[in-house]
């Protein structure tokens, strides 16, 4: 029977782009369904209102929301919709998805991250699992991402440097802020090993794209030059140019319809006018970011899938992951510094790009046994002016400040120093109480149940987060920072999300097989971060890109190899 397309990809972010490009280049017809609009370089500006104060690149919370369950402190759960709480959980609803708005801090996972149980043993109360593939299996694809998405960096020797098949990055590091040298000196005095952070940002014109313009507004902003390696700029634009990839923006996939054998026979979606569209393909690839991917499968029951597509073992939505850890910061005041240092501090636009991985694995302070730690990244506070001003509107006791005191405080904050921060990234230990299901009451503007997410976490994550944060504080102290504060919380960062459709060899405990094909559905794949049983102690995007390229190559082979 003839199909509309060879492959239908649902979602256009880090999981969807590599699949669309690989299949289109191999000669197959691809359609990409994307819920949001198709914004391009010429639509992105340094506009804090559009970027960060309103829902411009994401749905309005009146129309579409999540329901979040947080621990109530007494063993139960407090549920609130994101419309009520104001805690927006959308990360980028447009062609290219959240990769448009990432900072592009790119780290690979390390070999032991693929086998946490084997390497460090089980953790009580946690659902740790080894990956069904190894670092060596994924390494060629990490390498491919460096060249195809474009990763700028410089390899340095440090105690936890992972093995690489290529000697160095294909593009030189992005230009560095003068304070990076200060950080290097402070870290070395402390005996630490500062690492230049690889960035998915082109430092030189390449791959048909411009280099970075260093305009000081990167994370949370769409890139106006094309230097940022979003799925759109780096992969989908190229896929479309093959003539075999069609992107349908403003198309919200609402259901995967399965046949009597349990295979997907078509996808239904709502178009911009709210009309139902339908299309079919030989293969369906879901990549809507972990929470929405689980939601789409749960919204798609069929005769062979009464509890949602690929969910006969009740695994869909389980073992959701975030990035654990915390953050801290301090002020590098101008007062008392020589003029040349002040001038250095005032430089705008260049990247700090420094990380520490000295404690990626370290002895457990209680037992002495090796345990997983994580990554510390150093960066200036985001340059957004409104958010920096708003951070001054309450005093230490949380009381509102106004009038001249408010003005004086804002003026001092903006003009008397720079605020240097650190963020820590540790493993989010998978637990039973961190999962996605359909909300029984709240619906979106199409009448579909929204995702309800329980946000439980493992206390271990706070321990490790505190351990790392104290190291970050030491660096700030060595730099002479003032007003240092730090915090570690079990509340997850909603933009660093994975898990929910684990891959594994055992269908009883995983949704996907090692090739990211659903155990229960022959023509269904999931290629966003959902597949990850554990996430390493780094941001996920590079790993998602690499794995999606890996899966896509398998799809090419399954469909009969490269055509033409």
**Cβ nearer to other proteins, comparing 383 with 448:** 383
DSSP characters over 42-104: GG--S-HIIIIIS-SSS--TTTS--EEEEE-SSSSEEEEEHHHH--------STTGGGGG---
Q: How far is the CB of 79 from other proteins (least distance, A)?
A: 15
Can you read off the two tokens belonging to residue 46?
């340094």
**Cβ nearer to other proteins, comparing 155 with 406:** 406
Q: How far is the CB of 547 from other proteins (least distance, A)?
A: 21
Q: How far is the CB of 94 from other proteins (least distance, A)?
A: 8
545: left (phi over 0), alpha (psi -120 to 50) or beta: alpha
Site residues (vs other proteins, CB under 8 A): 37, 39, 43, 45-50, 53-56, 60-62, 83-88, 94, 103, 105, 213, 215-217, 219, 224, 327, 348, 382-383, 385-386, 389-390, 393, 400, 402-404, 406-407, 410-411, 414-415, 423, 491, 493-496, 539
**Cβ nearer to other proteins, comparing 362 with 381:** 381
**Cβ nearer to other proteins, comparing 375 with 553:** 375
The Cα–Cα gap between 166 and 240 comes to 29
- What's the number of CA atoms in the CB half-sphere (13 Å) around residue 187? 22
The Cα–Cα gap between 328 and 472 comes to 8
Contact (Cβ atoms closer than 8 angstroms) between residue 76 and residue 455: no
SS3 (DSSP) at 162: coil
**Cβ nearer to other proteins, comparing 101 with 142:** 101
DSSP H helix total and E strand total for the chain: 13, 22
Q: How far is the CB of 403 from other proteins (least distance, A)?
A: 6
Per DSSP bridges, beta strands 434-443 and 449-455 are antiparallel
Can you read off the two tokens belonging to residue 218?
């990167």
Q: How far is the CB of 201 from other proteins (least distance, A)?
A: 14
Q: How far is the CB of 177 from other proteins (least distance, A)?
A: 15
Q: How far is the CB of 346 from other proteins (least distance, A)?
A: 9
Burial (CB count <10 Å: 0-12, 13-18, 19+), residue 306: exposed
**Cβ nearer to other proteins, comparing 60 with 341:** 60
**Cβ nearer to other proteins, comparing 221 with 467:** 221
Contact (Cβ atoms closer than 8 angstroms) between residue 196 and residue 147: no
Q: How far is the CB of 186 from other proteins (least distance, A)?
A: 22
Can you read off the two tokens belonging to residue 177?
């802020």
**Cβ nearer to other proteins, comparing 83 with 114:** 83
Compute how many other C-beta atoms are within 10 angstroms of the C-beta atom of residue 341: 15
Q: How far is the CB of 204 from other proteins (least distance, A)?
A: 20
Q: How far is the CB of 334 from other proteins (least distance, A)?
A: 11
Which helix (H) or strand (E) element contains residue 435? Answer: strand 434-443
For helices 17-25 and 541-559, angle between their N-to-C axes, nearest 10 degrees:
30
Which helix (H) or strand (E) element contains residue 484? Answer: strand 482-488
**Cβ nearer to other proteins, comparing 233 with 496:** 496
**Cβ nearer to other proteins, comparing 39 with 361:** 39
């Amino acid at each position: 029977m003839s199909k509309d397309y060879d492959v239908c990809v649902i979602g256009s972010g880090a999981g969807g782009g590599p699949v669309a490009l690989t299949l289109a280049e191999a000669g197959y017809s691809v359609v990409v369904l994307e819920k949001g609009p198709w914004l391009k370089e010429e639509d992105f500006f340094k506009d804090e209102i559009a970027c960060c104060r309103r829902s411009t690149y994401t749905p309005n919370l009146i129309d579409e929301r999540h329901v979040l369950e947080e621990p109530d402190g007494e063993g139960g759960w407090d549920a609130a919709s994101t419309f009520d709480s104001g805690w927006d959980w959308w990360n980028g609803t447009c062609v290219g998805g959240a990769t448009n708005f990432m900072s592009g801090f790119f780290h690979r996972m390390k070999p032991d991250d693929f086998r946490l149980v084997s390497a460090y043993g089980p953790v009580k109360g946690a659902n740790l699992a080894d990956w069904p593939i190894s670092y060596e299996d994924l390494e060629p694809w990490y390498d491919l991402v460096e060249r195809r998405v474009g990763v700028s960096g410089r390899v340095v020797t440090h105690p936890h440097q992972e093995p690489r098949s290529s000697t160095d990055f294909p593009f030189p590091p992005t230009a560095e802020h003068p304070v990076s040298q200060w950080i290097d000196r402070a870290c070395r005095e402390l005996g630490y090993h500062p690492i230049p952070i690889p960035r998915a940002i082109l430092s030189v014109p390449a791959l048909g794209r411009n280099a970075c313009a260093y305009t000081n507004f990167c994370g949370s902003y769409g890139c106006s030059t094309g230097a940022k390696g979003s799925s759109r700029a780096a992969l989908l634009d190229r896929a479309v140019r093959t003539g075999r990839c069609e992107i349908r923006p403003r198309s919200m996939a609402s259901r995967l319809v399965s046949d009597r054998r349990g295979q997907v026979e078509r996808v239904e979606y709502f178009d911009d006018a709210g009309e139902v569209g339908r299309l079919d393909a030989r293969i369906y690839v879901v990549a809507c970011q972990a929470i929405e991917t689980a939601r789409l499968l749960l919204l798609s029951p069929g005769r062979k899938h009464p509890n949602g597509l690929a969910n006969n073992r009740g695994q869909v939505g389980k073992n959701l992951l975030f990035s654990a850890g915390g953050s801290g910061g301090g002020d590098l005041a101008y007062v008392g510094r020589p003029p040349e240092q002040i001038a250095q501090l005032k430089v705008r636009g260049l990247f700090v790009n420094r990380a520490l991985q000295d404690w990626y694995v370290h002895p457990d302070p209680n037992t002495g046994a090796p345990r997983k730690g994580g990554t510390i990244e150093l960066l200036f506070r985001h340059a957004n002016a409104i958010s920096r001003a708003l951070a001054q509107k309450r005093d230490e006791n949380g009381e509102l400040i106004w009038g001249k005191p408010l003005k004086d405080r804002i003026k001092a904050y903006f003009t008397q120093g720079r605020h240097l921060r650190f963020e820590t990234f540790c493993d989010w230990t998978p637990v039973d109480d961190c999962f996605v299901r359909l909300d029984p009451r709240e619906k979106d503007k199409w009448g579909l149940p929204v995702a309800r997410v329980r946000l439980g976490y493992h206390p271990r994550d706070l321990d490790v987060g505190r351990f790392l944060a104290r190291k970050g504080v030491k660096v700030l102290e060595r730099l002479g920072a003032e007003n240092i504060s730090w915090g570690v919380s079990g509340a997850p960062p909603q933009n660093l999300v994975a898990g929910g459709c684990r891959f594994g060899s055992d269908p009883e405990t995983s949704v996907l097989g090692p090739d990211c094909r659903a155990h229960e559905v022959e023509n269904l794949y999931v290629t966003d971060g959902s597949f990850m049983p554990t996430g390493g102690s780094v941001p996920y995007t590079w790993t998602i890109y690499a794995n999606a390229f890996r899966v896509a190559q398998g799809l090419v082979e399954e469909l009969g190899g490269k055509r033409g």
